A and B are shown apart, each in its own frame.
Chain A
Amino acid sequence: MLKKRIIFVIYYANGSFFLSRNFKLQKIGSVEYLFDKFGFADILQGLDELVVLNVEKNREDFSLELYNSFINKLLEKAFVPITLGGGLNSEADVNHKFSLGCDKVLFNTALFENIQLVENTILRFGSQAVVANLDVLTVNNEYCVFSNNGIKLVGTLDHACNIIRNLSFGELFLNSIDRDGTGFGPDINLIDKISILKPLILSGGYGKPDHFNILNLKNVDAAATGNIFNFIKGGLNMTRTYCKSINIRR
């Protein structure tokens, strides 16, 4: 039987990892800090997947050298599936990500502004290697999708789904900007709004083990959190134990 997944998301910018709250970033520290202070080596062994998103707001500030060094150190002993994303806008960007040893790449803005790149990536690396990411924010009581790090309005969630519906990407990474980093729990109402039949990763809002009971819903295949405080000091084990206690496998 296929197991539900628990995924950790690392927000990366300028050589450091960050916490995100409603898409406002707070710098935490270097990759060494992640391992030394948060015991990330242990967390890595208990995760089902790792996603690293480059959230550098100012693309000119991006240093390839710092990024490569961060990723290489992070992945040195990471024997779990790796997805890399954030700012992918050319075939060279995609090739570079795979050359670092990832299994999948994640597209957000390119879904709406560079669809050819998404299609070519699917053609070359296969559907299973492409994750489509929608960042959703409530505007006037309506779910709307934003691209470009959450600042550019694409349209309603329905509209965005219709744009990407015919792309044969492998998974949908649905993220709530409203819930992001709040710890208020994932947005359960978002799930029914999705009419795309792909493995669904629901992200945003997890703050305690029982928030992961959302995995009991048939339509949710994975839960993703970028909140390291969910997983430190045995938090990941507590979450897993909780999930088992309510019959979520794994």
Chain B
Amino acid sequence: MIYIVDTGASNRVAVERWLNFNDISTCELSDNIKPNDIALIPGVGSWDEVIKNLITNGQWDILLKHKNSGGKFIGICLGFQLLMGESSEGVLPGLGLFNYELIKFSENHVKVPHVGFNEIVNNTTKELNECYFTHSYFLPVNKIDDLNTSFGITNYGCDFISMIETKNCLASQFHPEKSSFGGDFFIEKIKKLIKC
């Protein structure tokens, strides 16, 4: 089962609609979540504001417990970012599944935010996909020291990590639920994560 987090500022409804349309059932995040279940953090929102909301509504605790028990995660956009350790968008610590720091695109080099369809290239398989992005903060490629993980790389002024795929986690800076056919490959990955 996929448990969807209510961040108080997300497009949760759109993510639900997309998953349900693809025959994946969902429910709202609660204490009932087991490590083999998936906690999905949807996008939209700003870093500190969303973390504060989640602390207040008790879901941050559930997420931390889920992480500590080795549970499965899906993160989309801000949800991807919240899986990291910190972000220059705010001062509060993230969930820290990955100990990386997000930084802001430089307005001297590119228009901020990065909005629109862009390419995602897998670092090992070179598989190419195209999905919709909208974000101002990103995970720089040079922050990554782990070469065994499967990453998606995107370029906007510089290369950045747009997707992370591990045994128990699937995280995308882009919005697969907003990418029309472009998001279909992500549905396949979600189905795989559910089964494993």
Q: Mark A95-134, 1 if CB is under 8 A from B, else 0.
A: 0001111111000000000000000001111111100000
Q: Is B66 an interface residue (CB 8 A)?
A: no
Q: Which residues of A contact B78 (CB under 8 A)?
A: 126
Q: Is A191 an interface residue (CB 8 A)?
A: no
Give the interface SS of chain B, mostly helix, strand, loop or mixed: mixed
On whether the beta carbons of B113 and A45 are closer than 8 Å, the reply is no
On whether the beta carbons of A126 and B44 are closer than 8 Å, the reply is yes
- Indicate whether A197 sits within 8 Å of B111 (C-beta atoms), given known contacts A1-B155, A76-B17: yes
User: How far is B7's CA from A99's CA once the two chains are assembled, in angstroms?
Assistant: 12
Q: Mark B83-108, 1 if CB is under 8 A from A, else 0.
A: 00000000000000000000000010
Q: Looking at A1, A4, A102, which has the most chain B CB atoms within 10 Å of its CB? A: A1
Q: A46-103: which residues lie under 8 A (CB-CB) from chain B?
A: 46-48, 75-77, 79-82, 98-103
Give the interface SS of chain A, mostly helix, strand, loop or mixed: loop
User: How far is B136's CA from A171's CA once the two chains are assembled, in angstroms?
Assistant: 12
Chain B interface size, as a band, is: 35 or more
Q: Mark B46-90, 1 if CB is under 8 A from A, else 0.
A: 100100000000000000000000000000001000000000000
On whether the beta carbons of A126 and B136 are closer than 8 Å, the reply is yes
- Indicate whether A199 sits within 8 Å of B17 (C-beta atoms), given known contacts A81-B134, A103-B178: no
- Indicate whether A3 sits within 8 Å of B116 (C-beta atoms), given known contacts A103-B14, A128-B134: yes
Q: B141-177: which residues lie under 8 A (CB-CB) from chain A?
A: 155-156, 175, 177
User: How far is B35's CA from A197's CA once the two chains are assembled, in angstroms?
Assistant: 45
Q: Looking at B11, B13, B46, B107, which has the most chain A CB atoms within 10 Å of its CB? A: B11
Q: Is B132 an interface residue (CB 8 A)?
A: yes
A93 → chain B closest CB, angstroms: 15
On whether the beta carbons of A125 and B134 are closer than 8 Å, the reply is no
Q: Mark B112-129, 1 if CB is under 8 A from A, else 0.
A: 111111110000000000
A35 → chain B closest CB, angstroms: 16
- Indicate whether A2 sits within 8 Å of B21 (C-beta atoms), given known contacts A101-B14, A124-B49, A126-B78: no
Q: Which residues of B contact A197 (CB under 8 A)?
A: 107, 111
On whether the beta carbons of B116 and A5 are closer than 8 Å, the reply is yes
Q: B7-21: which residues lie under 8 A (CB-CB) from chain A?
A: 9-14, 17-18, 21
Q: Which residues of B contact A244 (CB under 8 A)?
A: none
Q: Which residues of A contact B117 (CB under 8 A)?
A: 2-3, 5, 48, 250
9 cross-chain pairs, A with B, having the tightest CB-CB distances, nearest first: A101-B13, A101-B14, A126-B46, A128-B113, A128-B134, A3-B117, A81-B178, A199-B115, A2-B118
| 18 chain-A/chain-B pairs, Cβ below 8 angstroms | A1-B119, A46-B180, A47-B180, A79-B18, A79-B21, A79-B183, A80-B178, A80-B180, A101-B12, A122-B46, A123-B46, A124-B49, A125-B46, A126-B45, A126-B78, A128-B135, A171-B115, A221-B111
